[in-house]
Amino acid sequence: MGATSELLAPLVDALRKHVLSATKIHADDTPIPVLAPGNGKTKTGRLWTYVRDDRPAGESTAPAVWFAYSEDRKGDHPQQHLKQFKGALQADAYSGFHHLYGDGAIYEVACWAHARRKFHDIHALHASPITTEAIARIGALYRIEEEIRGKPAEVRHMIRQTRAKPLLDDLRHWLEKSLCSLSAKSETTAAIRYTLSRWRALTRYVDDGLLEIDNSAAERALRAVALGRKNYLFAGSDSGGERAAAIYSLIGSAKLNGLNPELYLRTVLDQIATHSIRRIDELLPWNLAVALQSETSKAA
């Protein structure tokens, strides 16, 4: 597997460069058990995912995902991963990302799914008029997004400005007013304060049609990791975690481009040993898509 990883490294690096050349990416992370050397126990490593996918804004640039492994969850890892990236980072409220926003080269776009989840979790345990209305108001924002998904960025921007922005203005006023009727220590108060404290990042999407309302693209990318954890106990080492990140990058990018991941990996492994590194981009999923989709159709 080590030799295979060395062969795949230039291809994974090409994926990384493609993802980070975007002006907007989605980011998230998830734990992965890793065998600790010497004691037979596992430690918790981390897989970070970075997704480029502008298809919801009508863009034709190929979507892709790049995974990176780290031994822990320290904030210097995303700083290292994104040191050459400039643009919008759609992510959750993890404090490790906050160091990225200092000089303005990277700016934060928050996730309404996380804000909605705060109210939903409270509502599921003990519903109240405030949680009911909060969920309904956020749901109205999502209905607008359903209507404009796939439309050009300028169209999305116009519709958001005319329809979503007034709803957001009303929502902020209502949230601030609702705080007056709640205990400072209540869970609903915490959910409202979470939302208001991130208001600029949560509402930035209405000012740019390329941005999304939430970070679902990154969360979808991590589902493959969650599924993988059900089928293996742990990565055998930190180098095993790095190999897992490389394979997840290739599998995830193949899926995003409508390819059968197994067929894609088999094709790449058959060709990469004799393929010129100067033409490594030819083996990226979207550049093999036509040939592989044709092969799949013939097999069917």
Q: pLDDT for 289-300, tens place per residue?
A: 887 876 655 554
Q: Across the strands, what pairs with 45?
A: 32
The reported pLDDT for the residue numbered 193 is: 97
What separation in angstroms does the CA of 201 have from each of 117, 208, 249, 250, 273? 17, 12, 28, 31, 45
Pick the closest to residue 161 from 209, 110, 113, 196 (CA basis).
209
**How far is the C-alpha of 121 from the C-alpha of 22, rounded, in Å?**
34
pLDDT digits (tens, 9 = 90+) for 232-241: 555 667 788 8
Whole-structure pTM over 0.85, yes or no?
yes
The reported pLDDT for the residue numbered 106 is: 96
Pick the closest to residue 189 from 174, 202, 178, 200 (CA basis).
178
Q: Average pLDDT of each block of 10 consecutive residues along the chain (300 residues)?
A: 76 97 96 77 88 97 96 91 96 85 92 96 96 98 98 98 98 97 94 97 98 96 75 67 92 95 94 93 93 63
**How far is the C-alpha of 227 from the C-alpha of 251, rounded, in Å?**
13
The reported pLDDT for the residue numbered 300 is: 47
Pairing of strands 106-109, 87-90: parallel
